[in-house]
Structure 1
Amino acid sequence: MIRESYSKAGVDFEVYSWPEVLKPSLKCYDWDRMQYRAGCIIEDLYRGVSSLDEGGYFVGVGMIDGYEPGLNFVFGLAEPRKRTGVVFTKRLKEEFYGRPAKFDLYVERVAKEVVHELGHLLGLPHCHNKRCVMSFSNSIVDVDSKERFFCDECSLTLKKLVLH
């Protein structure tokens, strides 16, 4: 495990990363849809990361396709009670849409979705501001339209949630 410490806006936090690839369980794979069930992946991650301390959060990132019942796909999902989230990156790649690869755009999209799921883990809901990273993304166009950052309203809410 790799540990890094950060400080932003007067808040200190640590990020832990695993250099190993986490492999999703086939029990989470829906063979009819050829996608992984996001909630099942979160359950597996939650059980597999027993070392989370009381204040820790975990977001798994995988180059797979995920969905939740009632939705065709999801870019990510968070379960705040379990302090665990997941980001599915297959649809964040330009190649998924038959276009040439753009590594910088892919990294930007992954960053947005990881920040988005962390926002949910910290207690933020979806935001009505389409430029805010917490806005709901129904398509890759929505992901590209938003910024990597919280809007002023979400930033204020987040400060209240984190500092109280």
Structure 2
Amino acid sequence: MPQKTLLLVSVGSQTAPLLKDLQDPLAAQMGTASVSSKTVLPTPAYAFNKDRAQYHCNAIMRRLTPMMEPGQHMVLGLTDVDLFVPDSPFVLGEADRESRTAVVSVFRLRQGADGEHLRRRIQVEVVHQAGHLLGLSYCEDPRCVMFFAQSPQDCDRKQLSLCNQCRNELIKLNR
């Protein structure tokens, strides 16, 4: 089976240099090739909700979906704005399997982290969202990359790898 390709898109200029650091973990953990988009989307003012002072994930994801080119199977945007979905106070990221689109925010991941610590948190969350795009669900093992992180500290506890159960599930999905 050919390797699936994930398009990585910077949403806001501050995230562009981070995209290269995501390619190796995505290949190693998810078996996914990734390419960085040459197009950088501006800060998503269209997704801003003034009552919450946050940005709606789905609005951003709708702008990402048409960016996929032939040969690309999924798209993931990396942004520096605070994200939400209606029933949560915030989210670190969101993925939609049907549209094959995801978005991850570094906004809250920056809390108490910089340099290598921040880079690892971003990698963990991006690999997690890519897992959803590939068909994986949440995992109950707090060390598995597919565990549902509700805080940056949850990302710190997770490994940058799948547990055995999730790895076996990914193998089944890729058949």
State the TM-score bracket (shorter-chain normalisation): 0.7 to 0.9
Contact (CA 8 Å) 1:66, 1:73: kept in 2 or not? yes
From the superposition, tell whether residues 112 and 93 of structure 1 become closer, same or farther in structure 2 (CA, over 3 Å): same
Detail structure 1 runs of 4+ shifted over 6 Å in the superposition.
4-7
- List gaps (5 residues or longer) in structure 2: 1-6, 9-22
Match of 1:21 in 2: 40
- List gaps (5 residues or longer) in structure 1: none
Contact (CA 8 Å) 1:109, 1:143: kept in 2 or not? yes
Q: What code does the residue aligned with 1:39 have?
A: N
Q: TM-score, normalised by structure 1?
A: 0.84
Contact (CA 8 Å) 1:25, 1:44: kept in 2 or not? no
From the superposition, tell whether residues 149 and 12 of structure 1 become closer, same or farther in structure 2 (CA, over 3 Å): closer
Match of 1:128 in 2: 140
- The structure showing larger relative contact order (alpha-carbon pairs under 8 Å, at least 6 residues apart) is 2
Match of 1:140 in 2: 152
Match of 2:172 in 1: 160
Match of 2:69 in 1: 51
SS in structure 2 of the partner of residue 41 of structure 1: helix
The number of equivalent residue pairs is 155
Match of 1:107 in 2: 119
SS in structure 1 of the partner of residue 108 of structure 2: helix
Contact (CA 8 Å) 1:24, 1:41: kept in 2 or not? no
CA distance in 1, matches of 2:156, 2:34: 25
- Residue 74 of structure 1 deviates from its aligned partner by 0.4
Higher deviation after alignment, 129-138 or 21-30: 21-30
- Residue 39 of structure 1 deviates from its aligned partner by 1.2
Asked if 1:81 corresponds to 2:76, the answer is no
From the superposition, tell whether residues 160 and 70 of structure 1 become closer, same or farther in structure 2 (CA, over 3 Å): same
Contact (CA 8 Å) 2:68, 2:74: kept in 1 or not? no
Identity of aligned residues (%): 32
From the superposition, tell whether residues 78 and 32 of structure 1 become closer, same or farther in structure 2 (CA, over 3 Å): same
Report the aligned-residue RMSD.
2.6
Q: What code does the residue aligned with 2:164 have?
A: D
From the superposition, tell whether residues 64 and 52 of structure 1 become closer, same or farther in structure 2 (CA, over 3 Å): farther
Contact (CA 8 Å) 2:80, 2:107: kept in 1 or not? yes
Q: TM-score, normalised by structure 2?
A: 0.79
